[in-house]
Amino acid sequence: MTVFADKRVLLIGAGGLSSPVAALLARAGIGYIEVVDQDRIEISNLHRQTLYQAADVGRSKSETAAFRIEREAKDVGHAATRSVAREMRVYPERVLELVHGFDLVVEGSDNYPTKFLVADACALSRVACVQAGAVRWVGWAFGSVPGSTCLRCVFEDVPEGPDRGCSVAGVIGPVVGVCLIGYFTYHAIQGDHGIFARDALQGEIARAQSTLDTLTSQREEMEKRAALIDPKQVDPDMLDERARAMLNVAKPDEVVIFTPKTAPAQAPAPAQ
């Protein structure tokens, strides 16, 4: 029996974002894991939905995920872990009932209305919530606990305009694996809520701004130094394309070795 055997986790969405989290929860020995998803497994999604195999195509995502979670838990010695499938869509009329009684909700759906609906329900029910999204080459992850910053504090409302989710715009498979949804889930289930506090978020923002300021300063200094270099004294073969563009250097027929403005005295030629 593990320290997490009495924990209850609700997993909303059983696709690419939730696949690594499902394995994490199973191996951690979570006592009860409920999986909510209404879709079927498609072969075009297997490159990012690592919880499934080719033989699973056409099967229920929630049922297959629940089966794999229990098997994964059993393989590492957590035979008491129980996972239940709920093949359903999340509706406003039932979302409060859905999240009630859980220690953590992990939301990895592929649309913003569901994300905001779950975020609001968790905030009202005072349930910790970890969420993530991914499309094309980018992804994001967000965690909140009772009394901390919520999803609406950051994004305010469902984005306007046409849906640009992964079903429309696509997503590169590895993106869903490097999102921090697993990191936030791990800390949330451990009760380490310090990383979700407003002060911690503000601290991270301040550190990010400080890093950006430092990088901007370094870039400005490099541009100043580049302006002092005589392009005629630069060996183009020693530069990459970006540096050539910055210095406006074209590759000449004859290579000229770089020498600084104040060149050191030339060493005497070796004796013949």
The enclosing domain of 58 has a CATH number of 3.40.50.720
Residue whose tokens read 């049922």 = 63
Domain that holds residue 79: 8-194
21 shares its domain with 117: yes
pLDDT digits (tens, 9 = 90+) for 124-155: 999 999 888 777 666 778 888 887 778 888 77
Report residue 75's pLDDT band, with 50, 70 and 90 as the boundaries: very high
31 shares its domain with 158: yes
* Domain annotation covers residue 268: no
183 shares its domain with 227: no
Q: Which residues form the catalytic set?
A: 166
* Domain annotation covers residue 230: yes
pLDDT score for 185: 79
Q: By the 8 A CB rule, do 258 and 233 touch?
A: yes
57 shares its domain with 110: yes
186 shares its domain with 213: no
76 shares its domain with 102: yes
Task: Please tell me whether the overall predicted TM-score, pTM, comes out greater than 0.85 for this model.
Answer: no
93 shares its domain with 222: no
* Domain annotation covers residue 252: no
Q: Name the average pLDDT for the chain.
A: 77
27 shares its domain with 151: yes
51 shares its domain with 173: yes
Cβ burial of 18 (10 Å; 0-12, 13-18, 19+) is buried
Nearby residues of 229 by Cβ (< 8 Å), 6 or more positions away: 247
- 101 versus 172: the higher-pLDDT residue is 101
CA pair distance 26, 33, nearest whole angstrom: 8
Residue whose tokens read 């609906």 = 117
The 10 Å Cβ neighbour count of residue 103 is 18
179 shares its domain with 217: no
160 CA to centre of own chain: 23
122 shares its domain with 239: no
33 shares its domain with 166: yes
Number of domains, the chain: 2
